[in-house]
Structure 1
Amino acid sequence: MAKDLSKGDKVTWQSHGTTVPGTVEEKITSDEKAAGRTVKASPDEPQYRVKSDKSGKDAVHKPESLKKKHG
């Protein structure tokens, strides 16, 4: 689980059984539209908008779904 992610951090997540690499674009701390859907978030339960390195598409994930890449 990744905590305290910042814009530009390299992360990975699972999508349809595949590990997807990408970059954190923003931390979402309030309900808003992102990546084509309404995201429920708060300062205590943030979500992160990430951009896939493979497809270039945006996605939104909870911090427990993201793994920070080291190195």
Structure 2
Amino acid sequence: MNDKFRPGEAVEWNSHGGIAKGKVKKKLTSRTTIKGHQVAADPDNPELQVETEEGGQAAHQPDALPKPTP
């Protein structure tokens, strides 16, 4: 993975309720649980933990996180 995302950077992603917007919280490189879901991240397949303005948490592959359009 390239390091095109930094903590605090604005991103958006597809959510069950539509397009969600938030910020990158951190890069995950080991298994973890977010909202009761297993995140199978590892050093060769990292994911990014993201957070909405409302405090919702999720993890996504970097390719699933386009930067918001102005």
TM-score (norm 1): 0.78
The count of residues paired between Structure 1 and Structure 2 equals 68
| Ranges in structure 2 where 5+ consecutive residues have no aligned partner | none
Identity of aligned residues (%): 37
Mean Cα deviation higher: 6-15 or 30-39: 30-39
Greater relative CO, 1 or 2 (CA 8 Å, sep 6+): 1
- Quote the residue 1:32 is aligned against: 32
Q: Is the 8 A contact 1:35 1:49 kept in 2?
A: no
Distance 2:6 2:48 in 1: 9
Counterpart CA distance in 2 for 1:17 and 1:57 is: 13
State the AA in 2 paired with 1:56: G
Q: Which runs of 4+ in 1 moved over 3 A?
A: none
